[in-house]
Amino acid sequence: MICTTTFAPLLAAAIAITATTTTAFVTPTFTSSSSSRSSATSKLDLFKVFIDGEAGTTGLKVRQRLVNRNDLEIISPPDELRKDDATRKEFINKADAVIMCLPDAASIEAASWVENDNTVLIDASTAFRVDPEWTYGFPELGKAHREELEKSKRIANPGCYPTGFIALTRPLVDAGLLAEGTPLTVNAISGYSGGGKALMELFQKDDNQGGEPWSAYGLNLSHKHIPEMTKYSGLGVAPIFQPQIAHFEQGMVVNVPIHYSWFNKEGITGKDIHDVYMKHYDGSFFVRVMELGVEANEYQLSRGGFLRPDTLADSNRMQLFVFPNDDAQQVLLVARLDNLGKGASGAAVQNLNIALGIDETAGLS
């Protein structure tokens, strides 16, 4: 579970109240060049994977994606020892890879238990996302970053909101359209599953008294995802980030509005922005750059022009939209993804595949 603490103030308040056609999509097969990690498959051995925290929201989703795979083995302690530290430490050290689906403090402690040079750790908490000794688990940052992930033994899984924000902003910074230090605003809406089991149970009450239809939170503008958004967007300055949660289970839309005067170059159009995304994500299996503009995406909109946030539920895919108004010198950049998919469990499995030298799409199609 990666977002429970993020939703804690909202959850407390709620308890009190209640009493596809694309234009930049190629389907390659990704494999790692790491010969040391692929040696296990050549010997017909199965990679051993331990999910530390598999009973949580993210852990359950990770297990669902791995349980039927024939290229790895999930190793799990008996239920009665699932929270026993000595047992967890034993399983961490006999696994080829560990996916940690834990609160921040528990992840920090578990990471310190590794006593070998072989175990790959993939952490789904926020504990290590800006730690220079950990590799940020967003392979779509670029070729060089993907190569880092192939060699890394410590991978920090991105947060759900940052995944969308970074996907929209980093290519523009790399292309020189957005200058470092450009202040941006981002508003985003997530399904209630982002709050973990407690918030899910609240919203799923049979009496329809669980949860509010829509709520804004993080109103003090100090959301725990901001550090990674600041660092990996390449902007180097914190965006004004306003997250929201609504009465649907899974899905997310991240919106970044930009005035053309904020760009680093004159004469920018929506097509220029779209072209940058097309080039950056060419060959990406999981990130799709949708067609330019509203009219070209009518088939993606419901009820005459509404962009639903839950379309990609249970998927590791992410869609990027460019909705420009060149006359008004404005553009709305939108990322749509599943907060529990590309924003959590799907990304963890994708990073696992890369780190172990397995086909990157395994378990994610």
Contacts of 275 (CB under 8 A, 6+ apart): none
Task: Say which CATH number the domain at 261 has.
Answer: 3.30.360.10
Q: How far apart are CA 310 and CA 272, in angstroms?
A: 28
Helix (H) or strand (E) holding 258: strand 252-259
pLDDT at 213: 84
Whether residue 275 sits in one domain with residue 126: no
pLDDT at 336: 99
3 catalytic, yes or no? no
pLDDT at 13: 47
pLDDT at 209: 58
Please check whether residue 165 is in contact with residue 186, taking contact to mean a CB–CB distance below 8 angstroms.
yes
pLDDT at 305: 86
Output the pTM of the full model: 0.87
pLDDT at 45: 84
Active-site residue identified among 62, 92, 160, 348? 160
Whether residue 290 sits in one domain with residue 301: yes
Whether residue 127 sits in one domain with residue 200: no
Whether residue 175 sits in one domain with residue 154: no
Whether residue 231 sits in one domain with residue 93: no
Which tokens go with 109? 């402690």
Whether residue 254 sits in one domain with residue 240: yes
Whether residue 208 sits in one domain with residue 225: yes
Whether residue 226 sits in one domain with residue 86: no
Whether residue 154 sits in one domain with residue 81: yes
**Within the chain, where are the H helices?**
8-17, 35-42, 57-66, 85-94, 104-111, 143-151, 160-174, 196-203, 226-232, 270-280, 346-356
Whether residue 315 sits in one domain with residue 214: yes
Please check whether residue 315 is in contact with residue 346, taking contact to mean a CB–CB distance below 8 angstroms.
yes
pLDDT at 42: 44
Structural domain tally of the chain?
A: 2
Question: Dihedral, CA atoms, 150, 151, 155, 158, nearest 10 degrees?
Answer: -40
pLDDT at 27: 38
pLDDT at 24: 45
Convert 303-335 to b/e letters by CB count within 10 Å (16 or more is b): eeeebebbbbbebbbbbbbbbbeeeeebbbbbb
For the chain, residues with pLDDT lower than 70 are: 1-44, 196-197, 206-211
Please check whether residue 213 is in contact with residue 194, taking contact to mean a CB–CB distance below 8 angstroms.
no
pLDDT digits (tens, 9 = 90+) for 316-364: 999 999 999 999 999 999 999 999 999 999 999 999 999 999 999 999 9
Domain annotation covers residue 9: no
Domain containing residue 37: 28-158+345-356
Whether residue 88 sits in one domain with residue 167: no
Q: How far apart are CA 102 and CA 27, in angstroms?
A: 33
